[in-house]
Structure 1
Amino acid sequence: MTVPEWRSTGRTPDFPAKVRVVEVGARDGLQSVRQWVGTADKIALVNGLIATGIPELEVSSFVPPRAVPQLRDAAEVFAGADRRTGAVLAALVPNVRGVQAAIAAGADRLVLFVSASESHNRKNMNASRAERLAALAEMAGIAQAAGVGLRGGIATAFGCPFEGDVPVADVVAVARAYRKAGITGIMLGDTTGMATPPLVFERCAALRAAIPDIEIALHFHNTRGLGLANVLAGLQAGVAQFESSVGGIGGCPFVPRATGNICTGDLVHMLHECGIETGIDLDALCDVALRLESLLGAELPGQVMKAGPRLRISPLDAAPTAVG
């Protein structure tokens, strides 16, 4: 019997050879932490992540302090970030004021966001989807005039906690609005952890059919344990950019029961085991996650940070010998 070969060329043939990992822990992760994390500790986290070889990370968000108190020191964190490696430093921005503040702070890329579902737009931004879409052109124009990069985020792209399934046509409509504003990089956000591999493949295919020049990034939560399975579906669909969070911290504060993002260490470990390059030092990344766990005083959900990579060998005397 002939056994199919998984790695005929050193990687799964249908997968991208290289993946860009975008780290969102300093923003999407910390925004859900109730205890105040000091500015110096945030800067140390950002710079520790940059040192692992991560090519892009969301440093913070320029949102009203009353909405997300944890991120009220966004400008200070940007000022302390290490720019020597050339890592792209991004900021999430909700409105024109946020765009202006992020540009002034020196953000390399701005992430705009609109929810595909009407209910989540109103809950997350206190505005309708139409109102959010109408604001895109002005926000994008300010950033483009300043020479700052843009990515358009589509929240609840795989389901809404208040409405259930979100029609793929609604996701495409938001993506078209971004494209009309001159934005070609689109991020599909699994804000609620409702994504499944079939949904991931369907939505990526629909976006590519509707907007052929689009660049897709995927952002998954592990709410129902499907985070890395969804990554595999995205890889199969040809996606080569994924967002993740150090230690698996995070979760949307405006969605009930929305637990953390997929863990960057677990994602990088899986990609490396599939023969896919990331340029990230996994051991260094695990060290950063363990330091964050100590800082927060709570166990983080990441797995590889605890167990180590698959081929990490232990000495024989590290485990008891069976008796009998």
Structure 2
Amino acid sequence: MTDRRPPRPLSVWAAAQQHPRSQRTTRYTPASTAHPAKMLPALARHIITTFTEPGELVLDPMCGIGTSCVEAAHLGRHALGIEYEPRWATIARSNAALAARQGATGTIRILTADARRLPALAPSDTAGKVALVLTSPPYGKATHGQVHADRSHGVHKRDYHYGPGTDNLAHQDLHGLLTGFQHILTGAAALLQPDGIVAITVRPYRQDGELVDLPGAILDLAPRAGLVRAGRAVALLTGLRGTRLVPRTTFFALHNTRVARDAGIPLHAVAHEDVLLLCTAGSGSDTDRPLR
């Protein structure tokens, strides 16, 4: 008897075939470049295309400048973005308006709010209608931020806390970050449709020389948010040219690597992000949710 099941697809995604700046050239306002941790548009497009259909609803409870929302709208999906910091929410609305002017067929709603209050703050028509929750938590000072360097004053970093709001998760220690993110996931999961997916882009980071396994910590807390693992993928942050990797490493990542090696720590520049795929308990598992 012939096995008619399709072959298990690749779980390594090439999300940086174009440089990040090139990916954002036409669809995002110039002010968008100020955000310290923007999701790659190509990665957002791949996840949205894989796990949703046109007309469905995408939620990003920590939307920043609205990358996931903009890409969803251009793919004919509807999007709801929630952003704690007014500065980034304003830019997200500008990017949403730009998407509409460019003919995006999906709608975008941006709320300036604390996503830890989900689902109470979400519009009533979103309950049970979210096909995909797509988001990314802050990784800490060691990974995020904008950098200025000159010969006189050296390297200086800014915006790694995303904004001045002390309740912002980027201001919290690891315990506070995980507690807050669990609240966000719990509220977001309550808005999912029965076969909905939660996709989280995240990576490990170093703090004071110690490796923090943030992806593993999020998988550990997921059951407390009513979620179980549905799969896991890797998004390459390098380009692929045949068998060769094309580096897309930021100046700050290279600087961190050099400083660590000078201190005797065998650090390498990160070339990928983990993509954690979760679903509500009882709705499926990684054995029946193929990755595309």
User: If the TM-score is normalised by the length of the shorter chain, which range does it land in?
Assistant: 0.3 to 0.5
Q: TM-score under structure 1 normalisation?
A: 0.36
Q: Which structure dedicates a bigger proportion of its chain to strand?
A: 2
Flag the structure with larger Rg: 1
Q: TM-score under structure 2 normalisation?
A: 0.39
Q: Which structure dedicates a bigger proportion of its chain to helix?
A: 1
